Amino acid sequence: MSVTELYLANNRAYASRHTGPLPMEPSQRVAVVACMDARQDIYAVLGLEEGEASVIRNAGGVITEDVIRSLAVSQQLLGTDEIMLIHHTDCRMLTYPGYRLKEPILSESGMRPLWPEDSFHDVEVDVRWSISRVKASPYLPHRESVRGFVLDIATGLLEEVT
């Protein structure tokens, strides 16, 4: 059985006890931006239940144009007004800051990706940069409550970056 088949079986079990649909709008009016690292269960880390927050994930939890787009949708259409940014220790984007993804993709596909790699050397510096990028965005009406954190992968604790 493939992993996908296992996940589909898990989904059938989930659906059998699902009581949705929940309202579209996150009940806690918060959007969380985090890394896609599989070691982070953002719902468990924050004690979130389904329907409480918009959770946006990408490689590194980086504030890209698409994350700004998702935050704008979350604020404008779903009513969120608070933003949490969560980076973490031992991030691949941190541990291999010199890694270049574009060259292997170019050699395999013949096309150079248009996106920036957005790796970083210091997780706290990148959290501060992420906060400033969110606060500078003209597309987000609610920029007054933006806070950034680093999740320690070893302990599970969040440390606020000021």
Residues in the chain with pLDDT < 50? Answer: none
Entry pTM: 0.88
- CATH number of the domain where residue 139 is located: 3.40.1050.10
Residue 13 lies in a domain: no
Helices (H) and strands (E) in the chain, counts: 6, 5
pLDDT (0 to 100) of residue 12: 97
Amino acid (1-letter code) at residue 12: R
CA-CA distance, 140 to 63, in Å (whole number)?
A: 13
pLDDT (0 to 100) of residue 118: 61
CA-CA distance, 104 to 111, in Å (whole number)?
A: 10
Residue 141 lies in a domain: yes
Residue 142 lies in a domain: yes
Domain that holds residue 35: 21-161
Q: What DSSP character marks residue 158? A: E
Place of tokens 């007004």: 81
pLDDT (0 to 100) of residue 94: 74
pLDDT per residue over 67-93, tens digit each?
Answer: 999 999 999 999 999 999 999 999 888
10: left (phi over 0), alpha (psi -120 to 50) or beta: alpha
